[in-house]
Chains A and B, each alone.
Chain A
């Protein structure tokens, strides 16, 4: 390209030249030529008009000559006037036509304008519609996209569902197989358990049979003995013997054993708890003094002797000893203590040999009872439950739970199918042994320290100094007997006509059950009822009463005289 400075010379030059040329050649002549042409047109028109007029004049002139003969000037003038009129009419007609045509032209112009406007508006509408269409197409595309996305998502969900379905069926299969395995294993285990139970049963049976055989042998041996050793005597009270002599042993009266139990851990005060159970009134089975009939199970007690010395002193438990009981046959002694065990001792020839121990309790034993057949042992415990063991195999049979406080005393009811238990939670519960459930709960209002049972009646001694009598069939208290101190122990005599109570006011009372009145009150100097569980007991014939004192001495009263018959304070703790 040429440089700008160069362009600035030839280009303006050309522009100038062109302008000059135009000025010369065009502008000067434009107007003139235009006007000339107009004049030419006008002259042409004039020529045409003049020709026409000449033609007219010529006709008129000829018309003139044609009528010249007549020489009627007025006729000629008339003709001329007619012609003039005709011409004027034509002229007016032509003017009218011209006006009409102009009118049509105007109308057509208006129409044209209208049509133009309509066309414009239509075009505008068309554009609008096109716009709308574009928008709708856009929307349509968006919706299509959404649809595709949804379809894809749906497909993914379906796939996931299928996969889950497969996993599920696989898991189901596994579950089925494992349940089958489980069933199989359980059945095998049950079979094994049954086998083991059978084995145990067989063993136990063997054991019990062996023991029975031994027992029979012994009995047979004992039967051969000439001397009446009668080791099963609970109480041997020699009415005539005052028992001062210490040599009772040469009499061969193995007496009331007073095996004392030493406790290693000393409760404060050195209390003797259920020492009175020495006189364990399983009188039903005591052997008479007559040695001849030394059969273990016998009828009523015939002879009793007041014990004077301890026959055998041994340590029985690791802790306190709370309960002592002879079995109905007086061969077995059961002791229960704070070491949570009930220990069974074989009583033979003046000594106690340990036989076995019953475990199962979770806290200290408070009371023990044998059933009337001697096959079951009932123990009440501080762990709020009572337990029953069978004595042949020392197995725990039942556990009766339900109390909300420690069970202080539990007794078999006379038909041995029911148990009544009294507890610190102020209730008495009646249990059915067959169904092992609590049949009745009686709210007594006070903690029950001891219970004794007759056929119809349950007597319970309470913390609130009352002894309550309950009818078994009714649920309410039949009678109440108020004492002066908290009742610590109850005992019935063999006939079940008298009730012996011991209370904290250091008094022993004998209550006649038929009259419900206190028949006799026994007390002694130095006899102090030291604890809520101090025990007293009748002798098997009902003539003597024994009780343990707080100082460790054992007091024996004669019921008939009401006086202290003997005091044993040796080896008692």
Chain B
């Protein structure tokens, strides 16, 4: 009799712990996604952290370590943008749904590749199964500038239809290079 009461309490404890975890993540995601700090604010924060630190540790990471980690992430990002030619200007996401094994996020992304600019919106569904996380793109919408080119619009609509985000980016760099080459050639003959 007592054992079953224990079990009821233990089950409720597990449920509560899961709910707390999800609520915490929801809160933190929402905070992250609705805030924005400019580069100046970032720099000010680094400076103010270094001033107030002055030798105390409190179990927190030192400002120089934090600065180094930030620096390393920024270096990786700027390397990738330079290497692939894909420059992202802005990115925002919003967590639309989050359960134990399933997360749906809405993304907005804008950037350019050489002289072609793009604006994307898509939903990303991530599902946790036993060993891995699967990712599926839905509701892909692409705006390209310049967009009057009929080849580009055909390519864009077929990409959107199948959620082919990967193909879009893989083709973008080669198309952008070709487009740039063609543009320069025309200018040369003007």
Tell whether A pairs with B. Answer: no
Chain A positions within 8 Å of B, measured between CB atoms, are none
Chain B positions within 8 Å of A, measured between CB atoms, are none
